[in-house]
């Protein structure tokens, strides 16, 4: 692998051990400028519920827990006489959606950590067993020896089933989608305290792993990592940086040095925190020569119950040149939100071959709502998003699905990407 000047950034184990996780674990709250009187709490809660009813993008869900939030949470709001307690009530409310794209922005003490940002183990139910299907590369789970094919038996001292039951509301216990949400949530864990998991390996032997509270993931120290692979193939990996405006300039610099390569691989397997549309558009704009559609937006109940707003978003060309060689996009469960939008966009524009596993399945575009009296910020989806072919973004799958596992020793997705580019260059 031939490294490229300043765009090459040595890997360091840096993700959450320092500033980010300190912000989660070392809570520092101030009530300055905030009002947590009972009247203020009640007023803001009513405003929040009304905002949700007016703006939530998925009002057509068969379950509609928000219709009874006012009554069911009235007593909890009355008792929640501190910021921490009030935030916790709101987190419980949004938890009923089983939607990883809905959250309280405040750092609630011992909160459930966001998926997939803090997730290092991906699992799914197969019959009555919860089976590990992916382990995040360079994560605590990988270092602890968690392996694809392991069955999860216990979380802490509780059986997995007990942990699932406690994470869900009573009415959701039999809902397969809600159970899958709860499984990922309990495996990701809370912001305080180490995770202790009991696992059964494929050899039938049971073991216990303890994962530290300070989440660490091996990652490049800058916005992206770029290199040239054998066969004159460019490679750019984004380091969870799609929300940073500086990423566009870093990408432009990398692309300038890779402009003559025979093909390019864009690795979106470490963008779990999503990002900003302006960053995604800035990147995608380097690959088109005319404006092209990349996704469809829909706002249901637009002012009236039977009115909706729909529009197609376009990518405009930008930069001093257009990269025209074949492109491959690599995605997996840690391709979240804006990363998912880039994947459907490159596919819609026929500008890249998307290769990987199912992505994070984060639904819709999120809007932040500020509660004026208490000062609490909440976020939930206010727009539905679709591939231009009509597939909801959260349901879209890469055209080339790779089932072979990615391990510390072998990267099956990268291997397939190189194979596809080699075939393209032979055509």
pTM, to two decimals = 0.88
The answer, yes or no, to whether residue 415 has pLDDT greater than 90, is yes
- In this predicted structure, what is the pLDDT of residue 33? 55
Q: In this predicted model, what pLDDT tens digit does every residue of 60-79 receive, in sequence order?
A: 888 899 999 999 999 999 99
Average pLDDT over residues 157-170: 92
Provide the β-strand partners of residue 263.
233
- Long-range CB pairs of 126-135 (<8 Å, 24+ gap) are 130/160, 130/183, 132/199, 134/332, 134/333, 134/357, 134/405, 134/406
- In this predicted structure, what is the pLDDT of residue 106? 81
Average pLDDT over residues 399-427: 89
Distance CA 297, CA 74 (A): 35
Distance CA 135, CA 144 (A): 11
- In this predicted structure, what is the pLDDT of residue 44? 95
Angle at 345 between CA 339 and CA 347, to 5 degrees: 110
Asked if residue 115 lies in contact with residue 100, where contact means CB atoms within 8 angstroms, the answer is yes
The answer, yes or no, to whether residue 32 has pLDDT greater than 80, is no
The answer, yes or no, to whether residue 23 has pLDDT greater than 50, is no
Structural domains of the chain in order of their starting residue, each with its CATH number? 2-15+218-359+397-426 (3.90.226.10), 30-104 (no CATH), 121-211 (2.30.42.10)
Percent pLDDT > 70 in the chain is 92
- Long-range CB pairs of 34-39 (<8 Å, 24+ gap) are 34/83, 34/373, 34/374, 34/375, 35/373, 35/374, 35/375, 36/81, 36/82, 36/83, 36/86, 36/374, 38/78, 38/81
Asked if residue 324 lies in contact with residue 300, where contact means CB atoms within 8 angstroms, the answer is no
Q: Environment class of residue 422 by beta-carbon count within 10 Å: exposed (0-12), middle (13-18) or buried (19+)? A: middle
Q: Environment class of residue 43 by beta-carbon count within 10 Å: exposed (0-12), middle (13-18) or buried (19+)? A: middle
Asked if residue 200 lies in contact with residue 206, where contact means CB atoms within 8 angstroms, the answer is yes
- In this predicted structure, what is the pLDDT of residue 13? 36
Q: What is the CA radius of gyration of the chain?
A: 22
Q: Which of 23-32, 143-152, 189-198, 413-422 has the lowest mean pLDDT?
A: 23-32
User: What mean pLDDT value characterizes the chain?
Assistant: 89
The answer, yes or no, to whether residue 313 has pLDDT greater than 60, is yes
- In this predicted structure, what is the pLDDT of residue 3? 36
Among 324, 302, 303, which Cα is nearest to 311's?
A: 302
* More confident of the two residues 392 and 4: 392
The answer, yes or no, to whether residue 31 has pLDDT greater than 70, is no
pLDDT tier, 19 (very low <50, low <70, confident <90, very high otherwise) = very low
- Long-range CB pairs of 132-139 (<8 Å, 24+ gap) are 132/199, 134/332, 134/333, 134/357, 134/405, 134/406, 136/217, 136/334, 137/218, 137/269, 137/406, 137/408, 138/11, 138/13, 138/217, 138/218, 138/219, 139/215, 139/216, 139/217, 139/218
* Secondary structure string (H, E, C) spanning 270-324: CECCCCCHHHHHHHHHHHCCCCEEEEEEEECCCCCCCCCEEEEEEECCCCCCCCC
Give, for 142, the enclosing helix (H) or strand (E). Answer: helix 140-143
The answer, yes or no, to whether residue 17 has pLDDT greater than 50, is no
Asked if residue 152 lies in contact with residue 160, where contact means CB atoms within 8 angstroms, the answer is yes
Q: In this predicted model, what pLDDT tens digit does every residue of 340-368 receive, in sequence order?
A: 999 999 999 999 999 999 999 999 999 99
**Which tokens is 146 given?**
């968690």
- In this predicted structure, what is the pLDDT of residue 243? 95
Among 118, 155, 160, which Cα is nearest to 21's?
A: 118
Q: In this predicted model, what pLDDT tens digit does every residue of 114-132 receive, in sequence order?
A: 999 999 999 999 988 999 9
């Amino acid at each position: 692998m031939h490294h490229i000047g300043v765009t090459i950034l040595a890997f360091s184990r840096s993700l959450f051990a320092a500033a980010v996780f300190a912000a989660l674990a070392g809570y520092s709250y101030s009530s300055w400028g905030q009002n947590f009187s009972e009247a203020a709490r009640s007023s803001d809660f009513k405003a929040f519920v009304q905002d949700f009813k007016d703006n939530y993008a998925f009002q057509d869900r068969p379950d509609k827990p928000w219709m009874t939030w006012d009554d069911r949470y009235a007593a909890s709001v009355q008792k929640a006489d501190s910021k921490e307690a009030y935030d916790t009530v709101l987190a419980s409310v949004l938890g009923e959606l089983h939607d990883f794209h809905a959250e309280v922005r405040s750092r609630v003490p011992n909160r459930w950590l966001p998926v997939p940002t803090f997730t290092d183990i991906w699992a799914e139910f197969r019959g009555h067993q919860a089976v590990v299907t992916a382990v995040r590369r360079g994560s605590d789970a990988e270092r602890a020896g968690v392996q694809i094919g392991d069955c999860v038996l216990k979380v802490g001292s509780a059986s997995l089933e007990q942990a699932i039951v406690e994470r869900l509301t009573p009415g959701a216990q039999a809902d397969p989608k809600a159970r899958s949400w709860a499984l990922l949530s309990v495996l990701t864990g809370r912001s305080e305290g180490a995770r202790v998991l009991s696992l059964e390996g494929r050899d039938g032997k049971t073991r216990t792993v303890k994962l530290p509270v300070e989440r660490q993931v091996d990652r490049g120290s800058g916005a992206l990592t770029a290199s040239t692979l054998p066969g004159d193939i460019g490679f750019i990996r984004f380091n969870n940086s799609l929300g940073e405006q500086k990423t566009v300039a870093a990408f432009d610099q990398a692309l300038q040095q890779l402009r003559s390569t025979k093909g390019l691989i864009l690795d979106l397997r470490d963008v779990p925190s999503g990002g900003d549309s302006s960053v995604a558009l800035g990147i995608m704009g380097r690959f088109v020569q005319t404006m092209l559609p990349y996704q469809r937006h829909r706002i249901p109940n637009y002012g009236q119950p039977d009115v909706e707003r729909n529009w197609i978003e376009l990518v405009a060309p930008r930069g001093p040149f257009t990269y025209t060689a074949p492109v491959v996009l690599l995605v997996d469960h840690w391709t979240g939100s804006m990363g998912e939008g880039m994947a459907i966009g490159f596919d819609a524009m026929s500008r890249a071959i998307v290769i990987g596993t199912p992505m994070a399945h984060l639904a819709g575009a999120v809007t932040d709502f500020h509660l004026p009296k208490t000062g609490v910020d909440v976020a939930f989806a206010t727009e539905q998003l679709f591939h231009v072919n009509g597939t909801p973004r959260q349901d879209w799958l890469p055209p080339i699905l790779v089932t072979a596992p990615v391990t510390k020793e072998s990267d099956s997705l990268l291997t397939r990407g190189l194979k596809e580019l080699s075939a393209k260059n032979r055509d």
